[in-house]
A and B are shown apart, each in its own frame.
Chain A
Amino acid sequence: MKPDFGQKNHYFDLNKTNAIQTFSLTKNFKNRTAVNSINLTIQRGEIFALLGPNGAGKTTTIKMLCGLLKPTAGKAVIMGYDIEKEQSTVKQIINISPQETAVANNLTVMENLLLMGGVYGIKKQETKMKAQELIELIDLSERTKELAKKLSGGMQRRLSLAMALITNPQVLFLDEPTLGLDPQARKAVWNQIEKLKGKTTIFLTTHYLEEADALADHVAIIHQGKIVAQGSPASLKESFSGKQTMMIKVQGITDYIIDTLREKYQDVRSSENEIIIQAKELDFESIVDLLRGEGAKIKWLSMKEPSLDDVFLKLTAEEKHR
């Protein structure tokens, strides 16, 4: 069945710019709230990352959006279609690459792709053409006729991703797409995801902060089922951390150096041979000039920009102490 992209049920999105909207979406399991009244708005064509530690509610959110779990309360809309009332239409326009590698082990690479095309009702010829393209995209051209169980973990993960892409989904859910992969395989999956930017809306869950930082246009941080922050990676870093850190290993630290630094920066820590300075903006040259001017010998120096790690750690720590 071809989905009807008519006028019905385009909730609060008259310009049809949103791909996903959730309204107080909640899931309770017996005496535990896995997802607690979350509100998200994800624009069409963007990569959105839901970031959180294990057990934060990321997979439960995806399972609700994909129709595998019924929300306890609230609602969600994908491309204007209610995920509960219009589930069959929603299922036709989305696809997912689950957390674990989800391939049929006793089928070849090509057969796996044809299976997914068939399950979504796409004509065999059309699926075959698309499959050829995808096999090239995931660099498995040499192994088209190989059984999936004989591929390496990284290759299986790329195949799993291609199985989600074979149906040309309007919204693609990637649940921890690089979990357990080595750095090289992870980079390869990142490359595939980046190629989809702008064409497909991607909802990505991850607990790798650098993954969200590298790929996502917008990020939401989920902790214990609640969204604790959302925005672009840059704005989150700016709002919740925003501090640069400079670490200097130095010989000949004097009281004058420390006092002068403390006059300019609030957060200055020092030990016998080390100074750590944190501030919104650090003046690299003046710090080095001060040290050299006082005859201190710089052995080693590093400068760190604020990262999503800082935001994440700060927010989750705040929530814990609340």
Chain B
Amino acid sequence: MKFLPLTTRNLKEIYRDPVSIVFGIAMPVVLLFLFTSIGEKAPIEIFTPLMLTPAVVVFSCGFLILFSASLISRDRQTAFLTRLLMSPLKSSDFILAYLLAFFPMALIQTIVCIFFGALLGMVISWQLFFVLLILLLVAVACIGIGMILGSLGNENQVAMGGSIFIVVVSLFSGAWMDLKMVGGIFKTIGYALPFAHAIDGSRAILKGSLISDISIELYWVFGYTLISFFLGIIAFKWRMKQ
């Protein structure tokens, strides 16, 4: 359990930075209200609370990539990580400590968005559990991508790479537009990544589909989560040996 003190430290590092609170939790709520009010004036299906809630959560996951990558990269460039690497902590302790520190943010982000989505008129049912599951899987995938980025790049590269990922999530997730309608390269790239599948799957559940109806979307998301997290561990371990 030696990873717990480091997890606590990482948590404090994240939550004492007002930027992560603003972008991680406050901004998704603002986006939800903003697009819902647009939807009320121009009735487009994509701007209804049911369609927007999963979209906003997945879009916000893009910031998890940036935050996790920044923390790892920043730590890497300080003697603080050197000190910890000389301590009895094992590489599994480091990986758990970074993952567990970001997980509460992902959970709070998702629950807060679902709460405000419901407040704005999204129907609540026990099926929401599956929505939560899909969205948390995407969040873990994003933390994994953050671990890869943070292990490979320096602070400047991470800032640039993280911003690119946020744009990628925004453009290719189908959060703000129907990818099937746009078609072409957007659709091809979008459905080769997990984000559009997570949003489609969550929307389908919220519309009343069963979990068995979205098994393909679930496989895509779960597969990406496994791969990105596995690669994140490899990248982190490789960096620790350098």
Pick from B4, B80, B82: contact of A104, CB under 8 Å: B80
How many residues of B are counted as interface, with CB atoms below 8 angstroms from the partner's CB atoms?
Answer: 21
Name the segment of B6-14, B120-128, B142-150 touching the other chain.
B6-14
List residues of B (74-102) whose CB comes within 8 Å of A's CBs.
Answer: 78-80, 82-89
For this complex, 13 residue pairs linking A to B, each with C-beta atoms less than 8 Å apart, are: A91-B88, A97-B83, A98-B83, A99-B79, A107-B12, A111-B9, A111-B12, A116-B87, A117-B5, A118-B2, A119-B89, A120-B2, A120-B88
A88 to B8 CA separation, bound complex (whole angstroms)? 23
Tell me the total A-B contact number using a CB cutoff of 8 A.
67
Mask: chain A, 76-90; 1 = CB below 8 Å from B; 0 = not: 000000000000100
Chain B interface mostly: helix
Whether B86 pairs with A67 at a CB distance below 8 angstroms is yes
B interface residues, Cβ below 8 angstroms from A: 2, 4-6, 8-9, 12-13, 16-17, 78-80, 82-89
A118 to B85 CA separation, bound complex (whole angstroms)? 14
Pick from B2, B16, B83: contact of A121, CB under 8 Å: B2
A interface residues, Cβ below 8 angstroms from B: 66-68, 88, 91-92, 94-104, 106-107, 111, 114-121, 147, 163
Whether A68 pairs with B86 at a CB distance below 8 angstroms is yes
Whether A106 pairs with B16 at a CB distance below 8 angstroms is yes
Whether A102 pairs with B78 at a CB distance below 8 angstroms is yes
Whether B82 pairs with A102 at a CB distance below 8 angstroms is yes
Q: In the complex, what residues of B have CB within 8 A of residue A91's CB?
A: 86-88
**Closest B residue by C-beta to A117:** B5
Q: In the complex, what residues of A have CB within 8 A of residue B87's CB?
A: 91, 95, 116, 119-120
**Closest B residue by C-beta to A118:** B5
Q: In the complex, what residues of A have CB within 8 A of residue B4's CB?
A: 118
Instruction: Give chain A nearest CB distance to B2 CB in angstroms.
Output: 6
Q: In the complex, what residues of A have CB within 8 A of residue B88's CB?
A: 88, 91-92, 119-121
Whether B86 pairs with A66 at a CB distance below 8 angstroms is yes
Whether B79 pairs with A68 at a CB distance below 8 angstroms is no
Pick from A92, A100, A118: contact of B78, CB under 8 Å: A100
A130 to B87 CA separation, bound complex (whole angstroms)? 18
Pick from B16, B17, B79, B84: contact of A119, CB under 8 Å: B84
Instruction: Give chain B nearest CB distance to A179 CB in angstroms.
Output: 11
